[in-house]
Amino acid sequence: MNSVIEVASLRKSFKGRDGTSRAVLKDLDLAVGAGEFLCILGPSGCGKSTLLNVLAGLDKAYEGRACVSGGRVGYLFQEPRLLPWLTADGNLDFALASCRVPTSRWSELKSRYLAMTGLSEYRDYYPHQISGGMAQRLALVRALCVEPGILLMDEPFSGLDEITARRIRSDLLSIWEETRKTIVFVTHSAYEACFLADRILVMSGGAFRQEMRVPIARPRSYDDLAIFEFSRDVIKAFGDGIGREPVPSVIPVTEPSLVDDLDRHIAARMNI
């Protein structure tokens, strides 16, 4: 397997206001192959998002090694983070310009991914004029237009109603099957992980607890009973600790906003 993400002995701690440190990533080892769809499943506060920030290059204060070699990295957050003063088309142009994609390719790329996500008719709409689900699809289009080799996704559908989230998950799988981009997808939903992933890593307390490969053939149907059965097996494999293992939250001494700390070009490159 040609690995495009390699993590070895990755450790990270946050310092609390009382001066004590707490480990949030504990000696993680990880290899992700080119074109793989990996889901990291775990409860809130277990270190999933911190790991993605390290892989994206947004967080450089860690010990160990984190190597990403699959080309440009796209990052989808839980919120769309669109620029409200720009239309859908303008948001895409901003990202394309900041990532220095040749202008000769802009029309082709935008048309391709807007069509894939059903947004072709909304190019002239502003973010406040479209629904939350459409805004999240537009954020996905923005990430794809700059042609990343690797796509990091941090619970991007958690704020959507289930019907909308279900449609976007299916859209994402269709796009992945066509483009075969490497995807690392963070979630706390076992069913979502089983529907999307080739491989699932369950994480709790800052460490990977177990790895499971999804034995369900593609293409997958969202209503396939096998997905439900396997998701139940995933939960059973780890007991009920996935949903109730608390990890004390640690407030760093300083809590800078990612957007505030990045200049406009880096922000666009990371699809913020």
Q: In angstroms, what CA-CA distances link 25 with 19, 133, 177, 247, 251?
A: 18, 32, 31, 12, 15
Query: Tell me: the pLDDT tens digits for 168-218?
Result: 999 899 999 999 999 999 998 999 999 999 999 999 899 999 999 999 999
Q: Identify the band that residue 1 occupies on the pLDDT scale cut at 50, 70 and 90.
A: low
C-alpha 49/C-alpha 268 separation (Å) is 19
pLDDT exceeds cutoff 70 at 99: yes
End-to-end CA distance of the chain: 31
Quick one: pLDDT at residue 159? 84
CATH for 3-269 is: 3.40.50.300
Quick one: pLDDT at residue 238? 64
Q: Which residues pair with 183 in a beta bridge?
A: 37, 151
DSSP 217: P
CA-angle at 73, arms to 210 and 70, nearest 5°: 75
Query: Tell me: the pLDDT tens digits for 3-26?
Result: 999 999 999 998 878 878 889 999
**The two structure tokens encoding residue 48:** 């999933």
Query: Tell me: the pLDDT tens digits for 106-128?
Result: 999 999 999 989 999 999 999 99
pLDDT exceeds cutoff 70 at 254: no
What is the pTM (predicted TM-score) of this model?
0.84
C-alpha 244/C-alpha 223 separation (Å) is 27
Could you state, in order of their start, the residue ranges of all structural domains in the chain?
3-269
Query: Tell me: the pLDDT tens digits for 30-48?
Result: 999 999 999 999 888 889 9
